[in-house]
Amino acid sequence: MFVRTATASTTAAALLGAGALLLPADRPEAPERQGQDAPVVVAHRGASGYAPENTLAAVDAADALGIEWVENDVHRTRDGELVVLHDTDLKRTTNAEQVFPDRAPWAVKDFTAAEVAKLDAGSWFGARFTGARVPTLTQFLHRMERNRQKLLLEIKSPATYPGIERDIIRVLGRSGWLDRSHVRSRLVIQSFGADSVKKVHSLRPDITTGFLGTPAVADLPSYAAFTDQINPSYATIGADYVAAVQRLKGPHGKRLRVNTWTVNKAADAVKARDYGVDGIITNFPDVVRDATS
DSSP string, 12-73: HHHHH-TTS----TTPPPPPPP-SPPPPEEEETTTTTTTS-TTSHHHHHHHHHTT--EEEEE
Confidence (pLDDT) at 37: 82
Determine the Cα–Cα distance for residues 21 and 65; give it in Å rounded to an integer. Answer: 9
Helix (H), strand (E) at residue 258? strand 257-260
| pLDDT value at residue 8 | 33
Say which range, 17-21, 149-153, 235-239, 275-279, has the weakest mean pLDDT: 17-21
Give residue 1's pLDDT: 36
Is the bond into 158 cis (omega within 30 degrees of 0)?
no
Is residue 10 pLDDT above 60, yes or no? no
Segment 48-73, tens digit of pLDDT: 999 999 999 999 999 999 999 999 99
Start-end of H helices in 69-136: 96-99, 113-117
Query: Per-residue confidence at 9, pLDDT binned at 50, 70, 90?
Result: very low
Give the pLDDT band (50/70/90) at residue 31.
very low
* Span 97-146, pLDDT tens digits: 999 999 999 999 999 999 999 999 999 999 999 999 999 999 999 999 99
Alpha-carbon separation of residue 197 from 3, 190, 226 (angstroms):
29, 6, 7
Q: How far, in Å, are 76, 165, 182 from residue 111 at the CA level?
A: 9, 20, 31
36 or 183, greater pLDDT: 183
Confidence (pLDDT) at 284: 98
Calpha distance 191→211 (Å, rounded): 6
Task: Round to whole Å and give the CA distance between 15 and 12.
Answer: 5
Catalytic residues: 44, 86
- For the chain, the average pLDDT equals 91
> How many CB atoms are located within 10 Å of the residue 49 CB?
28
Q: What is the pTM of this model?
A: 0.88
DSSP run (H or E) holding 270 = helix 266-275
Higher local confidence (pLDDT), 165 or 6: 165
Q: Quick one: average pLDDT of 164-185?
A: 98
Which pLDDT score, from 0 to 100, does residue 36 have? 59
* SS3 at position 156: coil
pLDDT of residue 202: 98
Average pLDDT estimate for 154-163: 97
Question: What is the pLDDT averaged over residues 235-252?
Answer: 98
- Nearest Cα to 266, choosing from 72, 9, 24? 24
Q: Give pLDDT, residue 24.
A: 43
pLDDT at 27: 42
Neighbours of 81 (CB within 10 A): 19
Comparing CA positions, the residue from 135, 146, 44, 160 lying closest to residue 81 is: 135
How many of the other CB atoms lie within 10 Å of CB of 141?
25
